[in-house]
Amino acid sequence: MSDTLKVSLVQLELVWGNVEGNLNKISNLLLPLKNQTDLIVLPEMFSSGFMMEDKNLISPKAKMTLDWMKNQAEELNAVLLGSIIEEENGDYFNRLYCVDGGKIICSYDKRHLFRMGEEHHHFANGNDRIVFNLGKWRICPLVCYDLRFPVWSRNMNDYDILLYVANWPEARRDIWNTLLKARAIENQSFVVGVNRIGIDGLGLSYAGDSTLFNAKGRLVGKCSDHTEEIVTLQLNLDELNEFRRKFPVHLDADSFQIG
């Protein structure tokens, strides 16, 4: 893979609790991306919506959803990324998968569970922050509420793209947009945020605001508000590294450990 990377932000209206319906719908929407992009990013819990009470009804379909991701990645000749509900040894996880060519590149269990929505009563949290390689690019994938925690998101000179998948309600959209921009500036990286639209089964409204910022906090591109849309944007690694060389903020960063 070259110094350029094409990233596709897939902003969706999700059908509440209908895994098969969502997967069929997304399959059709992704068809034009075949051989046209490198990385396809889906929202948090893209197969079901942000469900908690009925997680036990969704989790048995995790293998089917993961197999669908593998098939789509192979068919489209692109890496596919998004989170689903999965059960493991009696615990439920909001688990992000990244799949390439029919294989799992990595998985990440959401670290910060949304207390105000009682997510911590329904899901177990993960403890491992990960970074995966996509050609020359280093990518750190996180999930929704993780965005509010800059220490967990901190660039330790180990990634070039910080990526969030989310179901982030419209009522807090200003916070979403502000924090995405802040994470880009403070970490000198591209930041991708992919969110859903529509109204979920709990009556919460989502505006989308799926967005990509560069390391200077400048908008590279975004999806239209309240619109089901796929936007593909091209990133340049040489430009990012040149900016880091000219303005090496990381040399003055504080050292720390996460407990």
- Annotated catalytic residue: which of 61, 70, 140, 144? 144
Instruction: Evaluate whether residue 258 is within a structural domain.
Output: no
Instruction: Evaluate whether residue 255 is within a structural domain.
Output: no
State how many domains the chain has: 1
Q: Exposed, middle or buried by CB within 10 Å (0-12, 13-18, 19+), for 198?
A: middle
Contact 132, 106 (CB under 8 A): yes
**Separation between Cα atoms, residue 255 and residue 253, nearest integer Å:** 6
Q: How much is the pLDDT for 1?
A: 53
pLDDT tens track for 95-131? 999 999 889 999 999 999 999 988 999 999 999 999 9
| 239 assigned to active site | no
Q: Return the CATH number at 92.
A: 3.60.110.10
**Separation between Cα atoms, residue 115 and residue 36, nearest integer Å:** 39
């916070």: which residue's tokens?
175
Among residues of the chain, what percentage have pLDDT more than 70? 99
Q: How much is the pLDDT for 258?
A: 80
Q: CA nearest 137: which of 68, 236, 23, 37?
A: 236
- Annotated catalytic residue: which of 44, 86, 119, 170? 44
Q: How much is the pLDDT for 101?
A: 86
**Separation between Cα atoms, residue 40 and residue 78, nearest integer Å:** 7
pLDDT band of residue 163 (cuts 50, 70, 90) is very high
- Annotated catalytic residue: which of 61, 70, 110, 222? 110
Q: How much is the pLDDT for 78?
A: 98
Instruction: Evaluate whether residue 257 is within a structural domain.
Output: no
Instruction: Evaluate whether residue 171 is within a structural domain.
Output: yes
Instruction: Evaluate whether residue 116 is within a structural domain.
Output: yes
User: Is the pTM here over 0.95, yes or no?
Assistant: yes
Contact 162, 187 (CB under 8 A): yes
pLDDT at 142 over 70: yes
pLDDT tens track for 164-219? 999 999 999 999 999 999 999 999 999 999 999 999 999 999 999 999 999 999 99
**Separation between Cα atoms, residue 114 and residue 87, nearest integer Å:** 18
- In which domain, by residue range, is 117 found? 4-247
| 98 assigned to active site | no
Q: Once rounded to an integer, what is the mean pLDDT over residues 8-24?
A: 97
Torsions phi, psi of 252, nearest 5?
-110, 10
pLDDT band of residue 255 (cuts 50, 70, 90) is confident
Instruction: Evaluate whether residue 256 is within a structural domain.
Output: no
| 181 assigned to active site | no
């050292």: which residue's tokens?
255
Instruction: Evaluate whether residue 133 is within a structural domain.
Output: yes
Mean pLDDT value across the chain: 96
